[in-house]
Amino acid sequence: MTDWLRRRFHALPPPVRRRVRRLWLSAVPITQCALAAGVSWWIAVVIFDHPQPFFAPIAAVISLGLSLGKRWRRSAELVTGVVIGIIVGDLLISWIGSGTWQIILVVALAMTVAVVLDDGPIIPIQAASSAVLVATLLPPGEVGGVNRAIDALIGGLIGILIGALFPVNPAHRARRDAAGLLATMRDSSRRLAAGLRDMEEQEVFAALTAARGTQEAINTMRADMRGGKEVSAISPLYWGSRERLQRISATADPIDNAVRNFRIIARRALAMTQRREALHPDIVDIIDDLGEAFEILRAMMIAKPGEPPDQADAARVLRTIARKAKPELVANSSLAETAVMAEIRSLLVDMLMICGLGRSSAAATLR
């Protein structure tokens, strides 16, 4: 059944496949948000007897969201913003009345207080929206404003509780993000080598473009790694995964640095190709070998614990490539070729660090 579904999935047109994959990856966060919204509404209505506790489900959904990262912070920001808006709005509206200029003043003051307290994006918006509610819909000085703050607190807490009891697998998303980035670099390395062999400027430029287009994926990877550590901290189901999440998160900087170094290599290679300056064939072979290295790093990231390839397997492949990246290859080369080799060696250090080596140990691998 699984193989049949996989075949059907890959038979879909690429745009549809991307949307189906995006929906599949968001299925658990969507379920969390829906469940948290319903539960928080029920608690506010049944237990606290609030007649229209719309802030409770709103707070639950905002605190969870589709992103794993900073859920604690989002909940705290939401509740803080609501409280600021209600206090400022209630005090001012009871004194100056309601109207156009009163709304302008209340919103400006609520957002000012929020910005002074915190630089996050949620607090000022929630403070402003709560102040508007007080200025337009909620009678000042009555219990309704306090109830809205309680509803926001209920929603935020329920959101965190649902996220802890029914969590996304924190390691899965982080590993998937890293593997996707490494797959892109694998393909870019192979394409760059092919373009350099054939002196095809368009191929070299395509490899550079693909590497430049990874920044959003890098940001997503970092966010999911931070979110994964947060999930493993608050969810009892994943307390045993904290050490593993720490190791996965430690690859974020080396992966980011490796991508940046590859961009520099591709940019220098493009300039050489445009000048019709051929790169040493052995250096081109090393760039091609980087594709194999990125592939084993990708396989390492998605491998289950105890299954090959592991960090040692990937490090062996990289050490073999590092032995080829000898300074002697550019002993009598141009400045451009020497610069490419220097960046390749720096890239190899970053890739060895993805395998778990420290910077000094990785650098010592290259003579």
Q: Both 269 and 293 in a single domain?
A: yes
Contact 59, 154 (CB under 8 A): yes
Q: Both 108 and 185 in a single domain?
A: no
Crossing angle of helices 14-42 and 143-165, in 10° steps, is 130
Boundary residue ending a domain (145, 165, 185): 165
At 304 the pLDDT is 82
Which one-letter amino acid corresponds to residue 64?
L
> Which of residues 36 and 171 earns the better pLDDT score?
36
DSSP 171-196: HHHHHHHHHHHHHHHHHHHHHHHHHH
pLDDT by residue (tens digit) across 236-258?
766 766 777 788 888 999 999 99
Q: Is residue 318 part of a domain?
A: yes
Q: Is residue 6 part of a domain?
A: no
Q: Is residue 156 part of a domain?
A: yes
> Which of residues 288 and 307 earns the better pLDDT score?
288
How far apart are alpha carbons 39 and 155 in whole angstroms? 9
Find tokens 């409770």 and name the residue: 56
Q: Both 248 and 337 in a single domain?
A: yes
How far apart are alpha carbons 222 and 236 in whole angstroms? 23
Which one-letter amino acid corresponds to residue 322?
A
Q: Is residue 281 part of a domain?
A: yes
Q: Both 208 and 143 in a single domain?
A: no
Q: Both 273 and 218 in a single domain?
A: yes
Q: Is residue 330 part of a domain?
A: yes
pLDDT of residue 5 exceeding 70, the answer is no
Number of domains the chain contains: 2
pLDDT by residue (tens digit) across 309-355?
989 999 999 999 999 998 888 888 889 899 999 999 999 999 999 99
Q: Both 251 and 113 in a single domain?
A: no
Q: Both 270 and 309 in a single domain?
A: yes
Q: Note down the domain range covering 290.
A: 170-365
Q: Is residue 153 part of a domain?
A: yes
Q: Both 33 and 134 in a single domain?
A: yes
Boundary residue ending a domain (147, 165, 183): 165
Q: Both 339 and 225 in a single domain?
A: yes
Q: Both 309 and 181 in a single domain?
A: yes
Boundary residue ending a domain (143, 165, 187): 165
Q: Both 207 and 290 in a single domain?
A: yes
Q: Both 185 and 161 in a single domain?
A: no
DSSP H helices in the chain:
2-11, 14-42, 55-64, 71-96, 100-117, 122-136, 143-165, 170-198, 201-212, 215-234, 242-249, 252-274, 281-302, 311-324, 335-354, 359-365
